[in-house]
Amino acid sequence: MIPAMNQTRLRRLWLVLAVIFASGAAIALVTLALQRNIAYLYTPSEVLSGDAGAKVITGGTTFRLGGMVSAGSFQRAEGSMEARFRVTDGDSEMPVVYNGILPDLFREKQAVVATGRMKRGVFVAEQVLAKHDETYVPKEVADKMGLAHQKHGVVTDKAQPTTAETESGSTTTDKGN
């Protein structure tokens, strides 16, 4: 037979169990909320090839599309807020539609990151972010564009600071000093 438990120990046990249960529930809710708010960054090549996943292609999830605005692709109808342009990563281009005011720094042949979802083969952006100076490209875009440049043998200017150097505010290029 199990001996009767002291009332103080029994209360302590229930308190510990309640704290463990509450902590588990809080962790589960935070994890669930974070998963819903995460928007992964993909390039046009990843989306069009299917590497981004079925939910991305079918419009079942919000994601970020990163790349460069293709030259000659920007269009805006007279008197309309709807902007149409194409985003490229060097391998593929994807049509983008955005209804709103574009950032002042938005231009063709410049880095852009748009958040939205696919709809009938077109990326419908809810938010568009443009680069903030001549040398900055978002790290994820720079990494993925660098892979495209390597694939196609594009030579880039090595004298310019990398994204990480630009973000940290320091440049460590050795020029014989």
**C-alpha span between 46 and 50 (Å, rounded):** 6
Counting residues of the chain whose pLDDT is more than 90, the rounded percentage is 32
Q: What is the 3-state secondary structure (H, E, C) of 88-109?
A: ECCCCEEEEEEECCCCCCCCCC
State the pTM of this model: 0.60
Task: Output the pLDDT for position 60.
Answer: 86
Q: At residue 133, does pLDDT exceed 80? A: no
Q: Which residues of 133-160 are buried (b: 16+ CB within 10 A; e: fewer)?
A: eeeebbebbbebbbebeeeeeeeeeeee
Q: Summarize pLDDT for 26-82 with one digit per residue, the tens.
A: 999 988 887 766 668 888 988 888 888 888 888 888 899 988 899 999 999 888 999
Q: Is 23 helix (H, G, I), strand (E, B) or coil?
A: helix
* Coil, strand or helix at 116: strand
Tokens in use for 65? 């599309």
Residue 124 confidence (pLDDT) above 90: yes
For the chain, give the mean pLDDT: 79
Find the DSSP H helices in the chain.
7-37, 44-49, 54-58, 139-152, 163-168
Kindly tell me the burial class for residue 127, based on how many C-beta atoms sit within 10 Å of its own C-beta (0-12, 13-18, 19 or more).
middle
